[in-house]
Homo-oligomer: A and B are copies of this chain.
Amino acid sequence: MLIVMELGATREMVDKVCREIEKAGLKAHPMPGAIRTAIGVTGNKAQIDADHIEAQLGVKEIIHVTKPYKLVSREFYPEDTVIDVNGIKIGGEALVTMAGPCAVETRKQCMIIGEKVAAAGAQIFRGGAYKPRTSPYSFQGLEEEGLKILAEVREKFGMAIITEAIDTEALKLVSDYADIVQIGARNMQNFSLLKKAGRQPRPVMLKRGMSATLEEFLMAAEYIMSEGNHNVILCERGVRTFADHTRNTLDLSAVPYVKRTSHLPIIVDPSHGTGKAHKVIPLSRAAIASGADGLMIEVHHDPANAFSDGPQSLLPEKFDQLMKEIKAIGAVLGRTSP
């Protein structure tokens, strides 16, 4: 932490700030400059409240140097975290693909799509049983009925299951039925839900919030890990910007940043990131080329009759083609594919 004092800050103000720092068990390094004084702080930063220091007389600004997270940080755990889900490894050498419909609509729909994506090489089946919809008048999901259908898909095709827990009630059931619990972008800072996800036994895939900085994203993962569940998978799915040619702006620079800063695996979801099927394929390839550990992709055999997100769903044959391209691109980076 670096504290920048106001131009006219007196010697007394500087001394007061230094005392506050030392009171918190840290070391203060005052640096009187030509124009103003700055105070460097060293020690274990978690013990001091920046707001408290910033509110002292004569303080102009606080500049953070060390990051506020610990458990997610590669500085603390230098090795890559590899998460094992029914024998599928996420975050290791092998790429992983999660595919399926936006929403679980019917048993038949899931069986058709499940068969196709399994044949194309997807290891994990996705499908929403609970749907967070911006309108209270839209389809909200089949709920437990949908979870049962997902369990059947697992049994029939041998894929693992990922589905979203939209609130703490849903979390209990999702944790019972699914292999990976998904926390959606809108809930990235629903701290109550994060804490509860940290206390249940399934791995958690956490999606980046629509306007979350990567620091906030990693802090949300820290919330889950601080409760004891260290199996967290991060997922970049696009952020909100002024750009209006896609639903969200997919931020692939998040991949190398996360890989450098954290030991957690990172997956990319180009379906939500772009909102249009014809952009999903190029950006899926790009995600793998950027170093992502895998993809989450919406696939539907009949997009024109999908209950939600039809325009961004791939047809199974396009998905099949994509899997081949991904395999070839992954190989360039030394990644294996099923």
Chain A residues at the B interface, C-beta cutoff of 8 Å: 2, 4, 7, 29, 31-36, 38, 40, 42-44, 46, 49, 51-52, 54-57, 61, 63, 65-66, 68-69, 75, 132-138, 166-170, 186-187, 189-193, 195, 210-211, 213-216, 219-220, 222-223, 226-227, 239-246, 249-257, 260, 273-274, 278-279, 282-283, 285-291, 303-311, 313, 325, 328-329, 332-333
Contacts and interface: CB of A to CB of B under 8 A. Distances in A.
A68 B135 contact: yes
Contacts of A137: 46, 68, 226
B245 A249 contact: no
Given A249-B253, A310-B52, A285 B279 contact: no
Nearest to A16: B304
A335 B278 CA distance: 19
A332 B192 CA distance: 45
A300 to B, nearest CB: 9
Tell which of A2, A307, A309 has the most Cβ of chain B within 10 Å: A2
Contacts of A34: 42-44
Given A168-B168, A282-B290, A257 B241 contact: no
Contacts of A328: 332
Counted per complex, copies of this chain come to 4
B51 A308 contact: yes
B38 A33 contact: no
Nearest to A135: B68
Contact of A2 (B63, B186, B214): B63
B249 A57 contact: no
B38 A38 contact: no
Instruction: Point out which of A68, A189, A328 has the most chain B C-beta atoms below 10 A from its C-beta.
Output: A189
| Most B Cβ at <10 Å: residue of A75, A132, A252 | A252
A4 B40 CA distance: 11
A285 to B, nearest CB: 4
Contact of A55 (B2, B290, B306): B306
A186 B82 CA distance: 30
Nearest to A70: B137
Shortest 6 CB-CB distances between A and B: which pairs? A55-B310, A211-B211, A33-B42, A167-B192, A289-B289, A286-B286
A65 B222 contact: no
B40 A289 contact: no
A44 B35 CA distance: 8
B242 A242 contact: yes
